[in-house]
Structure 1
Amino acid sequence: MKSYIPNLLTLMNVLSGCIATVFAVLNHLELAALFVFIGIFFDFFDGLAARVLDVKSEVGLQLDSLADVITSGLVPGIVMFQLLNMAERGGWNLGFFGHDDEMTVLPFVGFLITLASAYRLAKFNVDEDQVSSFKGLPTPANALLILSLPLILLYHNNETLSSIILNQWFLLGLTVVSAYLLNSSITLFALKFKNWSFKDNGVKYLFLIGSLVMLLTLKFLAIPLIIVFYILASLLISEKDGK
């Protein structure tokens, strides 16, 4: 019976991703973000449950990636589509963009994030080196980065930030950078601890503490900064290990 628990958690990730997809298509981006966060929560605990219960399986590995394609690949792509659509229309709009509205090719560039996420997940499944670390930005981290944008627009109410986020060149640039980071060769640490020693895990502890402080002080604006912090901390670990 215990062998079904991790897969059940993964299926809850799939369900969360499906619900987030519906809200993203309807341009209810706050609710889409909420269900992506819930899906990532299940994504973390399905792997943890598999390790604790010692019930890892090939089916579970494949199912986990299929779930991530939806929650952390498709949904961010749709959100970027909506943001690019808003940028073209000249401002923040939570209405549903129906089929009668005029539409250009530009917003569809947002789905480059979905394509890059799917390709990254396929590579991850056949790469035996990505156990204690990752090559490239993990799809959940990238999803958090993209989903933070509408939340910053909604909750920070800052004209400067809004003008930057709803600038189509910024969004196009972020889309390209996102696709690159997902499939780059940059080694990024995984939050897995072989022991609780600060000596062996100092950078990881500092990352977690720093992330918590930023979230408490900067709220949703902290998410992009945490992703940058994560990349820089990983490069620091790589440099340290290389010496």
Structure 2
Amino acid sequence: MKKFIPNGLTLLNLLCGCIAVIFVVNSNFVTASFFVFLGIFFDFFDGFAARKLNVQSDLGVQLDSLADMVTSGVVPGLIVYKLIELSDLSWGETNVMPYFGLAITLASAYRLAKFNIDEDQQTYFKGLPTPANTLLIVSLPLILEFQNSDAINAIILNEWFLIGLTILSCYLLNSSIKLFALKFKDYSFKGNATRYIFILLCLVLLIVLHFAAIPMIILLYILMSLLDNLTSK
């Protein structure tokens, strides 16, 4: 019975991703975001449960990537598609530019496939993990909805910003940048200083900036990882 618990959590992640897709298609970004957050929650704890119950398996690894492909691959691509649509970018009579957002879905699929065959990424990641990239993308419609800033809204709904963000997102997903993982072998501060400081700064940013903190957190994650790489050398 305990063997099914991690896979059950993974399937809940997949279910949340499927529901989020439906809401994004109907331009209900807030509800879609809720299911994305819930799916990422299940995604974090399926691996945790597998390690604690000592029931890790090849099936679980493959199932996890398939679920992530929906929640953290299809959903962010569709969100950028819809945002570019809202920006009214039009090249010619037929507006094909929103489809450019789906490049994030393709880049996510490529990253997940690489991750599955890379045995080095046990304690760190190469490139931005798909859930982190998804949180970055999901934050955009939430900022539009809740932050009430005309200046920020104008930036987010700028077609060139969205195209540039898509390109940057695809690069970060498949870059060779070494990023620390939030996996604790023990709870000592000495061995996990970067993780504890990161979590503390994340809490402060979320309290102060709310949803606008999420892009800042992703940037902080990358910068702290680069600093951690330099100090470890």
Question: Which bin holds the TM-score, normalised by the shorter protein?
Answer: over 0.9
Equivalent residues of 2:23, 2:29 under 8 A apart: yes
1:136 counterpart residue number: 127
The Cα offsets for residues 160-193 of structure 1, whole Å up to 9 and x where unpaired, read as: 0000000000000000000000000000000011
Distance in 1, Cα, partners of 2:147 & 2:89: 21
Match of 2:200 in 1: 209
Q: Deviations over 1:92-134 (max 9, x none)?
A: xxxxxxxxxx851100000000000000000000000000000
Q: Give distance in 2, aligned partners of 1:103 and 1:206.
A: 49
Q: Is the 8 A contact 2:17 2:39 kept in 1?
A: yes
- Residue 218 (structure 1) shift: 0.6
Give TM-score, length-normalised by structure 2.
0.97
* 2:156 counterpart of 1:165: yes
> What is the alpha-carbon distance in structure 2 between the residues aligned to residue 18 and residue 59 of structure 1?
20
* Corresponding residue number in structure 2 for 1:95: none
Q: RMSD across aligned C-alpha pairs, in angstroms?
A: 1.1
The amino acid across from 1:159 in the alignment is D
Provide the residue aligned with 1:96 in structure 2.
none
Mapping for residues 11-50 of structure 1, pairs under 5 Å: 11-50=11-50
Give the corresponding residue for 2:78.
78
SS in structure 1 at match of 2:3: helix
- Residue 64 of structure 1 pairs with residue 55 of structure 2: no
Q: Tell me what 2:188 maps to.
A: 197
Residues paired across the two proteins, number: 231
**Equivalent in the alignment of 1:94:** none
Q: SS at the partner of 2:151? A: helix
User: For the residues of structure 2 that align with 1:103 and 1:115, how far apart are their CA atoms?
Assistant: 23
Give distance in 2, aligned partners of 1:45 and 1:204. 17
Structure 1 segments of 4+ aligned residues over 2 angstroms from their partners: none
* Identity across the alignment (%): 59
Deviations 1:8-46 (Å, cap 9, x if unpaired)? 000000000000000011111111111100000000010
Pairing partner for 2:166 from 152, 159, 175: 175
Q: Is residue 112 of structure 1 aligned with residue 106 of structure 2?
A: no
* 81-90 or 119-128, which deviates more: 81-90
Residue segments in structure 1 that go unaligned for 5+ positions in a row: 91-101
